[in-house]
Amino acid sequence: MKPALRDFLWMAVGAMMLLAAIVLVLHFREPQDPAAQLALKAKRVELVERMRLSVALASEAEKSAVMAITDEDSQSYADQARTATATVDQGRRELAQLLEPGGLKNEKDLLAQFSKAFAEIQRIDKDSTGVGGKEHQSQGVQSDVWPGFRGPQGNGCGIGLGSSQRALAPLPGTI
């Protein structure tokens, strides 16, 4: 069966409409500068690496604050942890601004997931009396976990930051 002239006209009209659509898309598309894209990606990667380092520094400083022997050392480590946490939060906000106009959906989803977890960690830090809170002295762990050690009040309830020397002293008659 041979195509009729009418069929050729419909094919020509369809091809011209497709060509017009392609021309419109190419005309109104914003030019993508590869150097600018690479610079933006490098900035995002640098921000993520800085945030990763700050999370590690904050974690280490919090552990050091708990284990510090003197109150001054503990407070110094706690201040370092707060500074590192603030750096993470600042980086998170900057990354959100960079991802807003042209970030991929999965990058935005990962940032939202991180932001949610980070907010929960900050809430826990503020609710506790440890490194994240205003007070420096914790209530300690239960006496069944550390039965031979005194807490901040000398009542056998674990280790406290504020009086770490007393907290680590053994209870009379336990050694």
Quick one: pLDDT at residue 152? 44
Which residues constitute the domain of residue 104? 35-127
Mind listing the pLDDT tens digit for each residue in 36-61? Answer: 888 888 999 999 999 999 999 999 99
Structural domain includes residue 161: yes
Residue that the structure tokens 């440890």 belong to: 130
User: DSSP letters of 66-121?
Assistant: HH-SSHHHHHHHHHHHHHHHHHHHHHHHHHHHHHHHH--HHHHHHHHHHHHHHHHH
In this structure, the answer to whether residues 123 and 141 fall within a common structural domain is no
Quick one: pLDDT at residue 101? 79
In this structure, the answer to whether residues 79 and 156 fall within a common structural domain is no
Question: How many distinct structural domains can be found in the chain?
Answer: 2
Helix axes 71-102, 34-67, angle to 10 degrees: 160
pTM tops 0.85 = no
